[in-house]
Structure 1
Amino acid sequence: MSECFKPSENCWRVRRGDRVAVLVDGKDYFQALHEAILQARRSVFILGWDLHSEVRLIRNGDGGDTPSTLGAFLDFVAKRQRQLEIYLLSWDFAMIYALEREFFPRYRLTWRSHRNIHFRLDDCHPVGGSQHQKVVVIDDALAFAGGLDVSKWRWDTSEHKPDDPQRIDPEGKSYPPFHDIQMVVDGAAAAALGELARERWQRAVGKRLPDVRPSDDRAPWPESVEPVFHDIDVAIARTMPLYRGHAEIREVERLYLDMIAAARRYIYIENQYLSSYRIGEALQASLSQDTGPEIVIVLPKQTGGWLEQHTMDVLRGRIMVLLREADRGDRLRIYYPRLAVKPPVDLMVHAKLMVIDDRVVRVGSSNLSNRSLGLDSECDLAVAARPDSDDEQTIGSLCNRLLAEHLGVSAADVARQRSERGSLIEAIEALCDGERTLVPLDGTVAEDVDRLVPESELLDPEKPIEPTGLLDYFVGRKQRKPAYRHLVTGGLLIAAVLGLAAAWRWTPLNQWLDIETVHSVGAWLKDGRFTPLLVLAAFIVGGCAAVPVTLMVIGSLIIFGPWWGFAYALLGTQLSALCLFFLGRVLGKDMIDRFGGGLVNRLDRRLSNSGLIAVITLRVVPVAPFSLINLIAGVSRLRWRDFQLGTLIGMLPAITALAAVTDRLAASLRNPDLGSYLLLVAVIAVAAAALTGLRLWLKK
């Protein structure tokens, strides 16, 4: 089966591992890592999505006199072995993860530590991407790779006790049970991963590190780990995005597709996500065959927090629907691991594992997501069974051991059921009757939630997103004005405002358009009994007549001032938008299409698919008349509540800016001196900068 590995196509290198083992769950990995680093002599590389100096590697006192936390332990090792250089590389994370990260990691892992400890944050990735490789290399002789960071919320035993007192984070808070997998290799495979780690360091830091000279010493193999493979080829697959002159690498994706195509009896998957449309298509193709492999997928019941559950889980649910539709022979099962019923406790599956036919096992950092195939940096390892060896039995035993952990039975029970029934699915279903078991994952997404979530190309992109990518998605280049036209329009608007102000002061205009007359008309309107109804009716009628909404907003601000004018403008735009929304529902799409052309079709598709986000974007970046957008929203599948909320959020910045500018303009007309004009210009500049900044933020 090693012919499945094709260097330069679906893997980077194929290198011999003298010893190879698979470590299941954080306790075994952290223990092995502690033992291996104690044996380091020349170099240690730790690459991660996250690193935490206060995470405890050892929690049962087996570490002897050595410190248990990562930062103190590395400092201890560096002081004891003066020739040892330790390099720590962590993703320079997005602010959305700030609460999950350690504050001041540079201080904790560099300034307070030995001078031979070098810590850097890796920002060498495109916008939206991350450094997601989880690799540790020791003396270029031993290496770990998989899904586990040396960070908080990762340690757990394979028992996954719901109330394990040892499962606490550095702040002393407990966290839910957590499951992940790491592979450990030595020999030439470890040396290749050392090369990968140095290349990653050079990209992030800009400094090339010297290679470690080969040593005749025995590799620093951890004492607690029993190798399961000996003298076997290890394939190394990567994902690297196109960035700063570095070519795109998609070996991870290609290896996934090749493994799925090569499967004959079964595909067993454990993963955090299932949102990659390419992986989904490959699994659909396998399921649509008259005969083909069984596919068993183990996922978390829910991913992460509220945001992931309302984005990535929605994308997962869409793919699950397609897979079940393609399943001709009832060969698909998707489960989540349940640990307890009262109270309900589920297992967080963070592993990234695939096993096919007892012939290939793959462990890595890559999720079954679009971003893992093209946007984030990833590293996976794979081993294939050799002819005339016990490798197939070893791979089968690993699969049995993982299923036993999730089903709450012994690996022998799983092996016996598989042997008797000849089916992975039947074996699982014969054993899943306990409290701790695998439960079918429904994955159904509420229709209202599904409507709010945009397509996967936005939430889970497979390529770096250009700054204009988001705007292109909603609007399209044909409907966007060139940048110079925005600048010219803005400049003319400012010039017109200043010219009007000058006309009031220095031209005959001030003789027949008296400012006091305008104020008297405004005062009459403000004091009227039916003024609120008249103003709101004017907004509704003006919207139906396609009067530019900006003019109506400015009119209300001039007449009623910045506060009442702001309130009338905000409420008036809401009512006008809602009336046209329901008018669109009444007229129907065919009628609107006759007048709108291609723009209508594009906006209809985006409003239907992307909901609230699309409405906000189109309010801040008005690529079509206010009234037309309202009509198109009415004929789309958008809910009226999402439309109203998006209109409110999207109109607030513009109305606020116009209120500030109009207020200063009125003040300049009342007191036409240099100071008032300068203040007017300053307010216009600030408002323009704020709106421009908001649009740029939306693009990013």
Structure 2
Amino acid sequence: MSEPNPTQPELLDSPSSDTEAAAPIAPNGAVMDTASTCEWILRAHRASVLIDAASYYSVLRDMIPRARHTIFILGWDIDSRIELVPGGANDGLPPRLSEFLCAVLDANPQLRIHLLGWDFAMLYAFEREWLPSYKPAWHARRRLSFRLDGRHPLGASHHQKIVVIDDSLAFTGGIDLTGSRWDTPEHRPADPLRKNLGKTSYGPMHDAQLMFDGAAAAAIAHLARERWRRSRASHKAGRPFIEKPAARTDLWPSGIEPDFTDVDLGISLTESAYDGRPAIQQVKALHLSAVAAARRNIYVENQYFTANSVGAALQKRIAEENGPDLAMVCPYRQNGWLQEATMGVLRARLHKLLKAADHAGRYAMYAPVVDAPNGKFVNVHSKMMIVDERLLVIGSANLNNRSMVLDSECCIVIDARGDPQRQQAIARIRNRLLAEHLASSETEVAQALARHGRLNAAIASLKAGSDSVRTLEPLTPQVPPELRDIAEGVHVLDPEAPIAANELIAQFLPEPTHRPVIVKLLVLGALALGVVALTVAWRFTPFGHELSFAKLASETQRLAATHFGPLAVVAMYVAAALLSVPVTLLIAVTGFVFGAVAGAAYALTGTLIAAAAGWAAGAWLGRDAVRELAGARLNQLSERLRSKGLMAVILLRLVPVAPFSIVNLAAGASHVRFRDFMAGTAIGMAPGVVLATSFARQLVAAVTHPTPLSLMLVGVIGVALVSMSLVLRRMLTRRE
């Protein structure tokens, strides 16, 4: 890491860089250098930047069927269910990725396809396709091979996003073949095609990928082969590997004019030291060299902005008397609480340090917005840096410490080296990106830059002359109030790595445990196996159908008819809570069987006893064990519970942001006072219990014996539920 300037605020140290060798900057002002910044410098006949996943996916859909020998697909995530062209490609091939690849294999008996994804941690299981290695889709053809790559140091991830066809056409950048990536450059706020499986919508997404051929593409194929070989403990494992075919020159989409022709590409990597291989930190050296080479303007698009070494270099440059302008285009906010607690906190701190160093108004951070009045922002996922009209850097690396020293990354750099045509191409790409964000044209962007010379002045002039709801909104990232107390203790962590969550929670919940480790592991293992077994049974066996409302109601009625019926029903709550059966379902069943008054009493008693049992289990297991069960949710719940006590419990019961049983365990593990926990549970659960039991009884009555009174009661309860929801939403909005 660069030494901090004693006249400037000191940047955070990266925990990763403490154990890695410092990355050297390329000598003598050179940016592409095989001794420091690049693994290879090789020629591409053609190269083009594909902006946004709709363009990239469309080209892939067109080029993959033209493969003759091999296709490699490497990614942080690969989802067999995505459609490369939502709405239909009209090419006669199946829409889903796995079925599409199988159809391509059927049409070409000589072709082999290799897919390599990151062997992710369970922290991301609910964000990804379940058990991808065992999906029948990836084993439908003998010549289709899918693997998960776990050959990394603890905490590292495979983060490269690569596709290479016949060793002749390569794609690398920020786009994985997975969900929530597809979008068009228009980024329409409510695009009907921007949906995942289950028809769930996601917000606008901006990204980019570089396509190129020639010797540079062959080098990417070599990289893909090496990663494939390393993904197994023994290189001899699996099927025999097919050696690379002869390079082809006909693999280029006919409808795309290349941005560059006959250009040298620098291929830059990050790899951790592992299995006897030394660490590679070329990506870090590349970005430091690019910043050092800047004269007037640095344009950056990146998902994260927390890298200390790059931040220190930028801090130094913008403080210079004739330093360059820096325009950072980032997401408005980081997705999810965990990312906000790590990347969001550290981005805010780095932004503050850069603003303190900026004495001439040369630095600005922006967030793209497509509907300014309604706050509809674009999620920036691209990883790009453009320096003047000289350098273009594009790849998989985020501007965080993990991408500099730990995760596997691949970036491409193009240096114009004074060539006018290459300079114009780099300028056009930058202008195209700015035009997309500012609802302008490339010509207007070029004219604004020609008038002002400086990047941020040009952006300001384009914004001033436009009344579009689509623009670049100035961004001043703030640390959320609930995170201010912990901001000083946060390490730089990448949410795409499993160890990040563990280290974060361990730092926030450092309390040691005094229970025997063996006993805790046995309990934790038994609980984990039980949860897995119940989940599998619920999803894949008839057992799940047995827990329908009708079945539970029937069994509860049978219990109610016995002498110990009410006691048995209350006890059922404890067992059900420990087994993670939805407590709302039990409350509704109780109301249906026993009626509104008695049902509410039994349901509230049962939930309080179940909550007490969960609190006791969490207190006995301790935070470490509960953390393994609750994952990232525990830290969020613990912070709320520990800081607010009774009111936090009431709010969590009124607005259940986590399952009933998880809240119970988290409260016990966080040592929330038992009386506060029980009082908060009673106060928070009582309105919902009364409404749910009344609603269940009256709903059944209204359906089976409709009368004006029964229908009116159902209507009143429905209005009460909606009103409560609106009031709570307003309360939470004001709090935020």
TM-score by length of 2: 0.64
The AA in structure 1 aligned to 2:354 is: L
**Residue 454 of structure 1: how far off its partner (Å):** 5.6
Is 1:78 aligned to residue 112 of structure 2? no
- Would the aligned equivalents of 1:20 and 1:229 in 2 still touch at CA under 8 Å? yes
1:99 maps to 126
Instruction: Please list the CA deviations of residues 213-256 of structure 1 after superposition, one character each: whole Å capped at 9, or x if unmatched.
Output: 45264242123322111111111111111223232111111111
Instruction: Please list the CA deviations of residues 491-516 of structure 1 after superposition, one character each: whole Å capped at 9, or x if unmatched.
Output: xxxxxxxxxxxxxxxxxxxxxxxxxx
Distance 2:501 2:469 in 1: 49
1:323 maps to 354
SS at match of 1:87: strand
- Which has the higher Rg, Structure 1 or Structure 2? 1
- Would the aligned equivalents of 2:449 and 2:455 in 1 still touch at CA under 8 Å? yes
Distance 2:85 2:241 in 1: 32
- Would the aligned equivalents of 1:371 and 1:462 in 2 still touch at CA under 8 Å? no
2:434 maps to 403
Q: What are structure 1's unaligned runs of at least 5 residues?
A: 491-563, 575-611, 618-637, 656-700
SS at match of 1:353: strand
Task: Sort the Cα spacing of 1:151 and 1:445 in 2 relative to 1 into closer, same or farther, 3 A.
Answer: same
Correspondence for 1:121 among 136, 148, 153? 148
**Residue 422 of structure 1: how far off its partner (Å):** 1.7
Task: Sort the Cα spacing of 1:371 and 1:461 in 2 relative to 1 into closer, same or farther, 3 A.
Answer: farther
Correspondence for 1:137 among 164, 188, 206? 164
The AA in structure 2 aligned to 1:341 is: A
SS at match of 2:86: coil
SS at match of 1:451: coil
SS at match of 1:144: strand
Matches within 5 A, 1:371-382: 371-382=402-413
- Would the aligned equivalents of 1:142 and 1:186 in 2 still touch at CA under 8 Å? yes
Task: Sort the Cα spacing of 1:78 and 1:8 in 2 relative to 1 into closer, same or farther, 3 A.
Answer: farther
- Would the aligned equivalents of 2:218 and 2:247 in 1 still touch at CA under 8 Å? no
- Would the aligned equivalents of 2:157 and 2:496 in 1 still touch at CA under 8 Å? no
- Would the aligned equivalents of 1:358 and 1:395 in 2 still touch at CA under 8 Å? yes
The AA in structure 2 aligned to 1:441 is: L
- Would the aligned equivalents of 2:121 and 2:498 in 1 still touch at CA under 8 Å? no
**Residue 649 of structure 1: how far off its partner (Å):** 5.2
- Would the aligned equivalents of 1:371 and 1:461 in 2 still touch at CA under 8 Å? no
1:177 maps to 204
1:159 maps to 186
Is 1:10 aligned to residue 37 of structure 2? yes
Is 1:25 aligned to residue 52 of structure 2? yes
Instruction: Please list the CA deviations of residues 301-352 of structure 1 after superposition, one character each: whole Å capped at 9, or x if unmatched.
Output: 0122232123311111011000100112110010000100343311000000
Task: Sort the Cα spacing of 1:139 and 1:290 in 2 relative to 1 into closer, same or farther, 3 A.
Answer: same
Correspondence for 1:270 among 301, 312, 317? 301
Task: Sort the Cα spacing of 1:201 and 1:110 in 2 relative to 1 into closer, same or farther, 3 A.
Answer: farther
Task: Sort the Cα spacing of 1:462 and 1:248 in 2 relative to 1 into closer, same or farther, 3 A.
Answer: farther
Matches within 5 A, 1:413-562: 413-432=444-463, 433=466, 434-453=468-487, 455-457=489-491, 459-460=493-494
The AA in structure 2 aligned to 1:435 is: V
**Residue 300 of structure 1: how far off its partner (Å):** 0.6
The AA in structure 1 aligned to 2:197 is: P
Distance 2:247 2:284 in 1: 36
Instruction: Please list the CA deviations of residues 140-173 of structure 1 after superposition, one character each: whole Å capped at 9, or x if unmatched.
Output: 1111000000111111110011111111113222
Matches within 5 A, 1:603-622: none
2:173 maps to 146
Task: Sort the Cα spacing of 1:263 and 1:188 in 2 relative to 1 into closer, same or farther, 3 A.
Answer: same
- Would the aligned equivalents of 2:52 and 2:206 in 1 still touch at CA under 8 Å? yes
SS at match of 2:254: coil
SS at match of 1:171: helix
The AA in structure 1 aligned to 2:441 is: S
Distance 1:54 1:461 in 2: 24
Q: How many residues align?
A: 519
Distance 2:325 2:338 in 1: 32
- Would the aligned equivalents of 2:76 and 2:160 in 1 still touch at CA under 8 Å? yes
Is 1:90 aligned to residue 117 of structure 2? yes
Task: Sort the Cα spacing of 1:455 and 1:207 in 2 relative to 1 into closer, same or farther, 3 A.
Answer: same
2:538 maps to none
SS at match of 1:15: strand
Is 1:53 aligned to residue 80 of structure 2? yes
Is 1:207 aligned to residue 235 of structure 2? yes
Task: Sort the Cα spacing of 1:467 and 1:448 in 2 relative to 1 into closer, same or farther, 3 A.
Answer: closer
- Would the aligned equivalents of 1:52 and 1:151 in 2 still touch at CA under 8 Å? yes
Task: Sort the Cα spacing of 1:381 and 1:279 in 2 relative to 1 into closer, same or farther, 3 A.
Answer: same
Task: Sort the Cα spacing of 1:166 and 1:615 in 2 relative to 1 into closer, same or farther, 3 A.
Answer: closer
- Would the aligned equivalents of 2:155 and 2:500 in 1 still touch at CA under 8 Å? no
Matches within 5 A, 1:321-360: 321-360=352-391
The AA in structure 1 aligned to 2:147 is: R
Instruction: Please list the CA deviations of residues 642-672 of structure 1 after superposition, one character each: whole Å capped at 9, or x if unmatched.
Output: 9x9999755759x9xxxxxxxxxxxxxxxxx
